[in-house]
Amino acid sequence: MEESLTPPSDEPAVEFERRVYVPHYEGWTAQIKTSWDKDYCYTKNPGEDYFHLLLCGEVYLVNAEERLCLNCAKRRGVITDDRLYWQRGVRRAPPPAF
């Protein structure tokens, strides 16, 4: 079966893309917060003077130095919902190691 990156024509288009990609993934891991401890995203939105509280059950990204909510990761360019990012010169991921 031929692999396609576009949905078949009889499949409705996704209204809001929830699949996200980390083009430069080295050092990053995706985690799910499993406690109600007060942990905060390390970044603020421009113009805001508070950090984002991460909720129990929330998916977030971590690397050695920081923890980011997905909104900040998107704004910072760490994640993208552009499935074709690899075609746009962002990066071509190396083959998976087995």
Task: Answer yes or no whether residue 41 interacts with Zn ion by CB under 5 A.
Answer: yes
Cβ count within 10 A of residue 54? 20
Choose, by CB under 5 A, the member of 52, 60, 78, 79 that binds Zn ion. 52
* Residue 23 structure tokens: 């083009």
Task: Answer yes or no whether residue 67 interacts with Zn ion by CB under 5 A.
Answer: no
Nearest in space to 17 (alpha carbons), one of 77, 72, 81: 81
Nearest-approach distance from CB 22 to Zn ion, in angstroms: 16
Compare residues 2 and 48 and give the one whose CB is closer to Zn ion.
Answer: 48
Compare residues 46 and 95 and give the one whose CB is closer to Zn ion.
Answer: 46
Size of the site for Zn ion (CB under 5 A): 4
Burial 68-87 (b: 16+ CB within 10 A, else e): bbbebbeeeebbbeeeebee
Task: Answer yes or no whether residue 69 interacts with Zn ion by CB under 5 A.
Answer: yes
